[in-house]
Structure 1
Amino acid sequence: MQSIQVGQLKSDFSNILHLVQEEGETFIIVYGKNHKKVAMIVPYDPYIENQEERKFGLYKNKGSVRFSDDFAMSEEELLGL
């Protein structure tokens, strides 16, 4: 993983894209005098794009938990001290 200034990215954009595509390189784009990290260029992964959207709540209303009225546990018992 390499860091690259915005100015260098502008002048070497084609070469950097080639390195990302062919070599699998990753670049962190830094900006300004303080070299603030602002973005990242990573190789494209078609697997991520083709994934189905995850569905949340598949088990909603399919389980429950009950505690008895006399249930009590100290912090020490919980932590195993």
Structure 2
Amino acid sequence: MSAVTIAEAKAHLSELVERAAGGETVCVTRRGKAIAKIAPLDQPRKRVDVAALRALTERMPLQTEPSSEFVRRMRDEDRY
């Protein structure tokens, strides 16, 4: 595990995230003491099954009113 200061982390955040995505853990320090850790996720994200998603959206009924009216109606009906 490598260590970087806060200033270095701010300046090179994209690079640190890429390193974490590659499996490396990076420790962020302040005044020589560890305060945070940038680490890869334990489980990789699942791939989206495009065919299943398309089949699901095709079965959904079409919206009968414009979204602006729907949101306005939901907001007005649920007043506190």
Matches within 5 A, 1:18-29: 18-21=18-21, 23-29=22-28
Distance 2:3 2:20 in 1: 13
Distance 1:42 1:12 in 2: 15
Aligned residues: 44
Matches within 5 A, 1:2-81: 2-21=2-21, 23-32=22-31, 35-46=32-43
> So what's the TM-score if we normalise by structure 2?
0.51
Structure with the larger helix share = 2
Contact 2:16 2:38 in 1 (8 A): no
Seq. identity, %: 25
Distance 2:33 2:40 in 1: 22
Distance 1:39 1:15 in 2: 16
**Matched position secondary structure for 1:39:** strand
Distance 1:16 1:40 in 2: 10
Runs of 4+ in structure 1 over 2 Å off = none
Unaligned runs of 5+ in 2: 45-80
RMSD value over aligned CA atoms? 1.4
Q: How far does residue 41 in structure 1 lie from its aligned partner after superposition?
A: 1.1
Distance 1:9 1:25 in 2: 14
